[in-house]
Structure 1
Amino acid sequence: MNELGEAAADAVLARLRNAHSPGTRPVLGVATGSSPLSLYRALARRRNELPPLRAFALDEYLGLPPGHSESYAEVVRREIVEPLALDAGHVAVPDGSAADPERAAAGYEAAIAAAGGVDVQILGIGNNGHLAFNEPGSALDSRTRVVRLEESTRQANARFFASLDEVPTHALTQGLGTIRAARSLVLLASGEAKADALAAALQGPVTEQVPASILQLHPDVTILLADGAGAGLSPDLLSRSTLVPIP
């Protein structure tokens, strides 16, 4: 996994350097989950190469109390902010404990726009083809909003909780339209369990039933593959420079 993380770090750092203008902070979109962990570890080792950043997280569970160890605010703090020595005041996560989640979603979307949009968005892909918490059926132009989680997503995330009953049923997530608005996308996928979803996303039709199929519509996408994640992709697709298989 070190090779995957280092290759992803190369891609992210190169794009952040190109996005950086004197007097401004480039904006990094950060994803939680297991796929990007090797990237964050690589960036932590190379944090002297990072410019001062602003960062926006993709999503957050609804209903977890502040400080809950599995809230994405805490995960971002543990796995990204502290290891990368980011300024916590410039790192935003959707407010999963907001009294009015819909209003919080609209405010988060507005905050991203006010920051000038995301320069580099880090992504993983769910086994059902979701991006962030955009489950199958999400509108391709959707924006930050409240969503109900698919049971398969809750089951996949249950390993982080004491039981399935503790996994929230709803979340706040950036929409597919929000993700598409980022200037560059860098997606990491590892393991054969992701192969079917990735093949459907990259080789099938662009459809709401496979949210990650919006990757086909973006002009600057880098996809890094390891441990069989590209098993369902055609040799022609694998030969493209935007896909980086890691031995």
Structure 2
Amino acid sequence: MEVVVVKDAREAGRLAASAVTALLARTPDAVLGLATGSSPLPLYDELARRSTEEGLDLSRATAFALDEYVGLRRDHPASYRSVIRREFSERVTIDPARVHTPDGLAGDLVASCAAYEDAIRDAGGIDLQILGLGADGHIGFNEPGSSLASRTRIKTLTEQTRRDNARFFSSLSEVPHHVVTQGVGTIMDARHVVLLAGGAAKAQAVHGLVEGPVTAMCVGSVLQFHPHTTVIVDEAAASALLLADYYRQVYDGKPDWQGL
């Protein structure tokens, strides 16, 4: 696991975008895993800028979203299908037909989850998975206590997660109680994971992710077992890291040719 401490969210977005850009230069038909929430937005802003101003080409890429609410209509502005379309696919050169989201309205949710796993596998697996981090350490919607070997499935949201997401709805009562999410095992299959976290509210979760024990109570800590995870955090989110100075030293001395 590599930990990179940056000044702010904009710098985090630029750094993550550089990892995506380098991947696409090597593998134009790369498969991306897309997160929603606030953390990835600076990344999507930078990819949009590079697409418009620098000709970044995603036309051969494929993308899979991490999760979707159960029972929320597809055109609801808070549905993750809408968020991914609005923040990512409409702003870059990717073919919208190659951008996939779990189906939270499927008549048979269990079968739909299995089909989503099959679709990821048939596409060749995720080359680069973007993640955010919940204040309780969750990744995707794999809440505390989730199986660390889980696959795409239905999960019940904690009340804290519902409260955290209520800002995207008119009221807390509108926030669904259930989601479809890629599982922890699904995320761990990605070849490269880039996790973004910012703000003091994420500091303890970042500490648990990077320096705590591997435990289902901080689901993101399982990434300590991943062979290629890059954690990009701002100064506030890094404030509880015991080895923050060491992580800065390591990154500052890293040769440019290594990339992320």
* TM-score range for the pair, normalised by the shorter chain length: over 0.9
Query: 2:118 corresponds to which letter in structure 1?
Result: A
Superposition pairs for residues 91-130 of structure 1, below 5 Å? 91-130=99-138
**Bigger CA drift: 161-170 or 64-73?**
64-73
Q: Is 1:241 the equivalent of 2:251?
A: yes
Within 1, Cα distance between the matches of 2:24 and 2:224? 22
Q: Which runs of 5+ in 1 are unaligned?
A: none
Q: Is 1:179 the equivalent of 2:187?
A: yes
Match of 1:228 among 206, 223, 236: 236
**Alignment length (residue pairs):** 239
Partner of 1:112, secondary structure, is: helix
Within 1, Cα distance between the matches of 2:135 and 2:250? 23
Query: 2:87 corresponds to which letter in structure 1?
Result: E
Q: Is 1:42 the equivalent of 2:46?
A: yes
Q: CA deviation at 1:238?
A: 4.6
Within 1, Cα distance between the matches of 2:66 and 2:160? 19
- The answer (yes or no) to whether the contact 2:193–2:230 under 8 Å persists in 1 is yes
Q: CA deviation at 1:237?
A: 4.2
**Bigger CA drift: 42-51 or 166-175?**
42-51
Q: Is 1:28 the equivalent of 2:36?
A: no
Please, what TM-score do these two structures have when normalized by structure 1? 0.93
Q: Which runs of 5+ in 2 are unaligned?
A: 1-8, 255-260
Q: CA deviation at 1:177?
A: 0.4
Structure showing greater relative contact order (alpha-carbon pairs closer than 8 Å, 6 or more residues apart): 2
Partner of 2:157: 149
Q: CA deviation at 1:225?
A: 1.2
Partner of 1:241, secondary structure, is: helix
Within 1, Cα distance between the matches of 2:211 and 2:235? 19
Please, what TM-score do these two structures have when normalized by structure 2? 0.88
- The answer (yes or no) to whether the contact 2:67–2:180 under 8 Å persists in 1 is yes
CA RMSD of aligned residues (A): 1.6
- The answer (yes or no) to whether the contact 1:12–1:120 under 8 Å persists in 2 is yes
Q: CA deviation at 1:41?
A: 0.4
Partner of 1:5: 13
Partner of 2:151, secondary structure, is: coil
- The answer (yes or no) to whether the contact 2:62–2:99 under 8 Å persists in 1 is yes
Distance change in 2, residues 1:8/1:98 (3 Å): same
Within 2, Cα distance between the matches of 1:167 and 1:6? 31
Partner of 2:96: 88
Partner of 2:25: 17
Identity of paired residues, percent?
50
- The answer (yes or no) to whether the contact 1:16–1:119 under 8 Å persists in 2 is no
Q: CA deviation at 1:97?
A: 0.7
Partner of 1:136: 144
Q: Is 1:77 the equivalent of 2:96?
A: no
Partner of 2:91, secondary structure, is: helix
Within 1, Cα distance between the matches of 2:166 and 2:202? 18
Partner of 2:86, secondary structure, is: helix
Partner of 1:188: 196
Within 1, Cα distance between the matches of 2:64 and 2:250? 29
- The answer (yes or no) to whether the contact 1:12–1:186 under 8 Å persists in 2 is no
